Amino acid sequence: MALWVWLSIMAAAAQTARTAGQKHLAGSMSSWSATWVRFLFGLPFVVGYLLVATADRTAAMPTPHLEFFLWCLGTAASQIVATVLLVHLFSLRNFAVGTSYARTEAFLTALVGASLFGEHIDAAGWIAIVISVAGVVLISLAKQGVSGMALVRSGLNRAAGVGVLSGLFFALASLTLRRASLSLGDPDFLTTASMTLVTVVSMQVVLLGGYILATRAGELAAIGRAWKACVFVGLTSAIGSGGWFTAMTIERAAYVKAMGQIEFVFAILVSTLVFRERSTARELVGMSLVAGGIVVLLLFAR
């Protein structure tokens, strides 16, 4: 299989572990601080990735320019906004429906990428994305006890709108990070991906950190007390982001996102094998759809 596929699988597995770590932190600090932790404690690890990726480089490093920084800023801001919207969903009455709509992120990445960013997606690619997204939405509905009809009936409510916006901003983050990396014009994808990652995470540390220092400075003590869990979240976040950024430098963002939906299969396997929770029939069907979409993507999409 292609390198970007393995990178996507690695990133999805790391993201599953990071999510578990952030849930642990959520009990001792706000969602804002739990989100900032992934950037703050992940920054040393992504800097390490940059140093390792460029250790044997003999050519001069690519020179960052205004376009690169603007794309990076777009990535940093989009990811923060998407996360804030996702967190806001939990304060809404129909949050379960909203989070199901947020799972359409891969489809939105394909739609926006094809219409605004000139990313070519063939018929097999669209079929693979639609099948896998349907599987992810089905898994989400099963976990939250929401019926398909409730999802359709709630298509115009506030929670659904916030969910779609969250997915849209996550899609924009993926597309802009690919543009940032490619704008450096260097053939070494490890160099451009790691440079982009360090720049974006640094921006996120400053942007979100400034907000937290201004509004929630008292939570710094909670972060200090939970430093071991914070290091775990930072490490898994860096591994996941390194995988995503590198994969999206190599391959179109929509295809990487579709492949990355294997994360939801990992989550079910963890709940079944580790926590001994039984999977429902809808979850199993959803897993099958995700797997089927990935098979179509790998075998037929070009």
pLDDT of residue 95: 55
Residue with tokens 């079910």: 268
- Segment 51-60, tens digit of pLDDT: 999 999 989 9
Position 140 in a domain: no
pLDDT of residue 40: 96
Those residues whose C-beta lies under 8 Å from the C-beta of residue 64, and which sit 6 or more positions away, are 184, 195, 199
User: What is the rounded distance in angstroms from the CA atom of residue 44 to the CA atom of residue 77?
Assistant: 20
Position 202 in a domain: yes
- Segment 60-116, tens digit of pLDDT: 999 999 999 999 999 999 998 888 887 777 666 555 555 666 778 889 999 999 999
Residues of the chain with pLDDT under 50: 154-155
pLDDT of residue 157: 60
Position 77 in a domain: yes
Residue with tokens 């869990």: 229
Position 143 in a domain: no
Position 282 in a domain: no
Q: How many domains does the chain have?
A: 1
User: What is the rounded distance in angstroms from the CA atom of residue 15 to the CA atom of residue 19?
Assistant: 6
Q: Are 253 and 109 in contact (CB under 8 A)?
A: yes
What is the residue range of 200's domain? 3-119+154-252
Position 269 in a domain: no
Position 100 in a domain: yes
Prediction pTM value: 0.87
Q: Find how far residue 102's CA is from the centre of its chain.
A: 12
